[in-house]
Structure 1
Amino acid sequence: MEFVRLREHIDDLARALLASATPVFGTVSLSTPNVDAAPELAFIRTASWLYSHYKEAGRVGVKFLMDRPAVQSLPEIRSHERLVHALRTWSQHTINPASGNHDRGILKTCSDWFEGACAVLLPSSDEDWRRALHVLLGEACEFVSQLTKQVEDIRADDARAQICQQWEDRISRDWPAHRFHEIVSTVASDMGRNTIDPVALFRRSENEIRRVLRITNESDLEFAARQCIERVLLTEVSKLLPITGRDIIDTLGVEPGQKVGDLLQEARKIYEEHQCTRDQLLDRLVPLVGSA
């Protein structure tokens, strides 16, 4: 409840400070975890709940405040935000912590933190999980308190108007996903690539597209978004054939083997010369089945 109180306070401050009355967090769709439930479940749900605050509902406000110079000198605050991301991944996804890979770093981040929080590498007992939950919530409260201090410092800053305008600019560039889906659909249609799934393409390239929108000097943001999406379509999607070897085997009746590879090479040549649908590409391969 202390975290909820702090969250509501910083949201009220941001609404009062910004002309757009935009909160730092706002609405989080996940319900508040029941911390009195089974400790392991309560911990896992809390990690996901905090992730929703930091990376989803608060992705603009939290990122803006964490970029403030005063926060840059607080490594424990920055490490808490990274920890929540790691805990959510570790608890919600299958990871393969091979030596030196990304998943290994996630596991190390979590196990190092657990060792400090409850003196075990990974929790196993209710008491372990209870201690971990207590420490995690304490760090979360400190995290929001530090962000709140940044909002208060902005209010008192001589450059308040300029800083608030920078914050508002970040907000204006944070478009909802459906707006990008519409642009992807339009761009794909204009380029004759009607087989593209706009939702899937945006999901795969979301970080890059949003990054371009954050840093561009172009005043027409829709133009900048379209440029970026066109580049993605030209550099990534053009590499993907609308068929696979399985299509050649199942549809054209070709036995698995070298012939399938040869036909895929021919399909690549055809597709690079003229973008077409899956069925059209398979039809053009039919005369080559006997000769490939």
Structure 2
Amino acid sequence: MKYLLAQAKRVDIDPAEAEQFKHALGRLRTLFAHNLDPSTTRDRETRDTCYAWFKNACGSRVPSDDQWEQCLEVLLDSALRYLMLAIEITRAIEQHADSESLSNLWKDRLSRTDVVVNYLGSLQRAAGDLGCEGLNLPQVRDRYSKRWGEVLSLVPASVNIEEVTSRHMEQALIAETSRLLPITAADVMEHLVLQPGEAVEVALRLGQVIYSLHPDLNRDSLLESLGASWKQLQR
């Protein structure tokens, strides 16, 4: 389903309703399967999403006993439309001028479903290459592993999976290291007049090196030092 929804716009189909249903279904599952903590932002958002869904389905944010069946009917109807949209996308791919390459993307996706990547080992190598210190790599792995699994499953079989994995490891480490710096990516873009992209990552790496050598620098001093070093690199 994730693959099909990702191809929807390529075949001129709007996946918005299906994406909304998928999100709501996930939140409903969380509401009924876990004990929510209203003091946390994510759990409050989950609760509010479910309350809004109940209100739309049966007219009440907290359904009464005789309203649950109405909620079930709405849920099943949405699930049916979700399934029918998937079938519609599949048929559109079949008839698309680029159907062969779109089908090959799916084959590549299947070929990646059993790929096992040693995330911790890859993280350790990437951390060594970047000179990252002080990070809890198992925590980084746990925080990003689901996202990496989804991304890597879409990588074509013809692509070097190790190179792609290393790239994602480096991006995660840079993001985590940035949390430890007194400057943010937004600070870097504003101070160096950069657009979002690879240049910002390079600048943050440079900021990381400077800060590791001079950990007493505050935000303004680090940006000033980074700006001077960045100008030298551009010569």
The TM-score range, normalised by the shorter chain, is: 0.5 to 0.7
1:96 Cα deviation after fit = 2.1
- Kept in 2: contact 1:112–1:121 (CA 8 A): yes
1:150 aligns with 2:120: no
1:92 Cα deviation after fit = 2.9
Please, which runs of 5 or more residues in structure 2 have no aligned partner?
A: 181-211, 214-235
Residue identity matched to 1:87? L
- Kept in 2: contact 1:183–1:226 (CA 8 A): no
Max Rg structure: 1
CA pair 65-239 structure 1, distance change in 2 beyond 3 A: closer
Residue identity matched to 1:232? A
Query: In structure 1, the residue corresponding to 2:13 is in which secondary structure?
Result: helix
Pick from 38, 62, 77: which aligns with 1:96?
Answer: 38
- Kept in 1: contact 2:124–2:137 (CA 8 A): no
Residue identity matched to 2:19? R
Query: In structure 2, the residue corresponding to 1:71 is in which secondary structure?
Result: coil
1:185 aligns with 2:146: no
- Kept in 2: contact 1:77–1:143 (CA 8 A): yes
User: TM-score normalized by structure 2?
Assistant: 0.57
1:224 aligns with 2:164: yes
1:87 aligns with 2:28: yes
1:215-253, CA deviations, whole angstroms, 9 ceiling, x for partnerless residues? 79x93121220232245346637989xxxxxxxxxxxxx
Structure 2 counterparts to residues 3-22 of structure 1, below 5 A: none
- Kept in 2: contact 1:86–1:106 (CA 8 A): yes
Query: In structure 2, the residue corresponding to 1:236 is in which secondary structure?
Result: helix
Aligned length: 174
1:122 Cα deviation after fit = 1.6
1:111 Cα deviation after fit = 1.6
Query: In structure 1, the residue corresponding to 2:159 is in which secondary structure?
Result: coil
Residue identity matched to 2:121? S
Looking at structure 2, the residues matched to 119 and 82 of structure 1 have their Cα atoms a distance apart, in angstroms, of 20
- Kept in 2: contact 1:97–1:107 (CA 8 A): no
Please, which runs of 5 or more residues in structure 1 have no aligned partner?
A: 1-57, 241-271, 274-292
1:110-155, CA deviations, whole angstroms, 9 ceiling, x for partnerless residues? 2222112122112242x22222112101110111111111111211
- Kept in 2: contact 1:123–1:129 (CA 8 A): yes
* CA-based RMSD: 3.8
Fraction of identical pairs, as percent:
22
CA pair 231-68 structure 1, distance change in 2 beyond 3 A: closer
- Kept in 1: contact 2:31–2:47 (CA 8 A): yes
1:113 aligns with 2:53: yes
Provide the residue aligned with 2:199 in structure 1.
none
1:184-243, CA deviations, whole angstroms, 9 ceiling, x for partnerless residues? 2255278499x9665x53220135535764579x93121220232245346637989xxx
Structure 2 counterparts to residues 1-292 of structure 1, below 5 A: 58-59=1-2, 61-72=3-14, 75-93=16-34, 94-96=36-38, 101-125=41-65, 127-173=66-112, 176=115, 179-180=116-117, 182-185=118-121, 187-188=123-124, 191=128, 198=138, 200-206=139-145, 209-210=148-149, 213=152, 214=154, 219-233=159-173, 236=176
User: TM-score normalized by structure 1?
Assistant: 0.47
CA pair 90-116 structure 1, distance change in 2 beyond 3 A: same
